[in-house]
Amino acid sequence: MTEEPALHEVFYCSMLTQDLPPATVGSIVTQARARNAQHSITGLLVFDGMRFCQHLEGPQRAVETLMERIAQDPRHTSVRVVYRGPLAARRYSGFGMGLAESEGPDLMAGVHALEGEAALKHFLALQPSFDINA
């Protein structure tokens, strides 16, 4: 029996590239769901019309490789890793890649203003208010 690699989590914030329609997010998630499933990555992407906050979890190498791709994706600007570290247990085992749209810009602006573990904890505390499309 092979043991699953140690879990790792990354939480980042970014902005949708100017002049791209918000509908672009649907295609991002569709592509991500298939690719992430192949690499045992789960997570949640929250979008408020212009800001992204995404929490990813999975094997460290797979998560870090994905972050490199996201940082180079022209649909994102101002990509900023807010928190990264080891993870004891998955938070998103019920679905592969969830998508939630935040009502109004204030919630995600608040998360974007924070750093490190404080930002991640704030994001996790907001999750019950999100209508997650898994």
In a domain, 14, yes or no: yes
Phi first, then psi: give them for residue 103, nearest 5 degrees: -80, 110
Each residue of 92-129: pLDDT tens digit? 987 788 888 887 667 788 888 888 999 999 999 988 88
Each residue of 45-72: pLDDT tens digit? 998 888 899 999 999 999 999 999 999 9
The answer to whether residues 16 and 102 touch, using CB atoms and an 8 Å cutoff, is no
Q: In terms of residue numbers, what domain contains 16? A: 7-133
* Lowest-pLDDT range of 29-33, 78-82, 84-88, 104-108: 104-108
CATH of the domain at 107: 3.30.70.100
In a domain, 2, yes or no: no
**pLDDT computed for residue 1 by the predictor:** 46
Number of structural domains the chain divides into: 1
In a domain, 82, yes or no: yes
The structure tokens listed for 64 are 């870090």
Give the number of other Cβ atoms within 10 Å of residue 8's Cβ: 19
Distance CA 44, CA 46 (A): 7
